[in-house]
Homo-oligomer: A and B are copies of this chain.
Amino acid sequence: MIIIRHPTEMTAWAKEQAGRGIALVPTMGFFHEGHLSLMRRAGQLADQVAVSLFVNPTQFGPQEDLAAYPRNFESDQAMAEAAGVAVLFAPDAADMYPAVFSTTVTVGKELTGKLCGASRPGHFAGVATVVCKLFSIVRPDLAVFGEKDWQQLAVIRRMTVDLNLGVEIVSHPIVREADGLAMSSRNTYLAPQQREAALSLSRALALARTLAAKGERSAERLTAALRDFIHSFQETAVDYISFVHQDSLQHVTEIDETTILALAVKIGGKVRLIDNGRVM
C-alpha cells in the first residue's frame, strides 16, 4: 500500500491506472469494522481500492468536535493495508483548502435542510464540496459509502448525478457491534455508563419494527412511542425521529417499504449518535 499526501500526486497515480477500475472509500479515519467492510466491498467491485483519510474541517460546525475527532494514523495505515487497499490518500487541510479557496458545492434544502442538516447548518455543503473534490482528485469509477449516514448518501447521489460526475455510488449496510450499536468513530466518546443509553437508537429501530409488524403505520404515533422509549434511557435527548422516503427524504405520514426511520440522539448532552433503517 502506498501513502499519498498531495492531491496532484494522487491524480497522477489515478491517471497511471488507466483501464484498471478504481474504487474510492472516502473516510475521516479512526477505522473500525464499518470502514473495513467498505474497503473489502470496494475490493470486490474494482481492481484497485483507494481510501481517502481526511478529517474535513468544512463539514464541522464551530461548536462541533473537529479538534476532538479521534485520530490514529498508524493504526489506520495498518488496517487499510491488511484490507487490501492499494493507496491511502491522506492530504493536509492546507493542500485541500488553500488560503484563496472559495468554491462551495451545495445541494438543495429538500435534501439538506432536514434531519442532520437542521441542526448542522453548512455540514452537507462541506460534505458535498469535499466529495466533489475527492472525486476529481482520485477519479474513481465507483465510490462506496456506508448507509449509517443515510442523508449523506442521498446528498452525494444527488450531487453526483446533477454534476455528471460519472462515479457509481455504492452503499453498504451498517455494521453493528454484537449488542446492536451502529459502529462509529464517535462511539469512543461514550463513557462506560453511557453505553446502555447509546443502545436506545438500535433498540428504538427494533421497537419500530415490532410495532410495524403489529400493523402500526402512522408515523406520528410511532414517533411518539419511540420518543418515550428513547427518553426512558438515562442521559438521552432526542434530536430527531423522522420517517422519510428512502430517496427523496420527504417526510411520510404513513410508513411503507420505501420508508427509512432516521434517528439522532444526544447522549449525556455531548455525544450525538445517529442510526437508521427500514422498519418494514
Instruction: Show the binding face of A for B, using Cβ within 8 Å.
Output: 7, 11, 18, 100-108, 110-111, 128-129, 132-133, 136-137, 158-159, 162-166
Q: Nearest B residue to A164 by beta-carbon distance? A: B136
Q: Nearest B residue to A248 by beta-carbon distance? A: B100
In contact, B164 and A133 (Cβ under 8 angstroms):
yes
Q: Knowing A133-B164, A137-B164, A164-B133 touch, does A103 contact B11 (C-beta < 8 A)?
A: no
Q: Knowing A132-B163, A164-B133 touch, does A104 contact B105 (C-beta < 8 A)?
A: yes
Residues of B within 8 A of A128 (CB): 103
CA distance A136 to B165 in the complex (A): 6
* Known A102-B158, A136-B165; further 7 A-B contacts with Cβ < 8 A: A102-B108, A103-B107, A103-B108, A103-B128, A104-B105, A132-B163, A136-B164
In contact, A102 and B164 (Cβ under 8 angstroms):
no
In contact, B103 and A159 (Cβ under 8 angstroms):
yes
CA distance A163 to B97 in the complex (A): 10
Minimum C-beta distance from A218 to chain B (A) = 28
Residue of A7, A102, A133 most packed against chain B (CB within 10 A): A102
Q: Nearest B residue to A103 by beta-carbon distance? A: B162
Residues of B within 8 A of A110 (CB): 102
A sample of 18 cross-chain residue pairs with beta-carbon separation below 8 angstroms, ordered by A number, consists of A11-B164, A103-B105, A103-B106, A103-B107, A103-B128, A103-B158, A103-B159, A103-B162, A104-B105, A104-B106, A105-B163, A106-B106, A129-B163, A133-B162, A133-B164, A136-B163, A136-B166, A137-B164
Residues of B within 8 A of A106 (CB): 103-104, 106
Residues of B within 8 A of A102 (CB): 107-108, 110-111, 158, 162
CA distance A11 to B166 in the complex (A): 9
Minimum C-beta distance from A165 to chain B (A) = 5
Residues of B within 8 A of A132 (CB): 163
CA distance A100 to B162 in the complex (A): 9
Q: Nearest B residue to A112 by beta-carbon distance? A: B102
Residues of B within 8 A of A105 (CB): 103-105, 163
Minimum C-beta distance from A105 to chain B (A) = 5
Q: Nearest B residue to A14 by beta-carbon distance? A: B166
CA distance A163 to B163 in the complex (A): 12
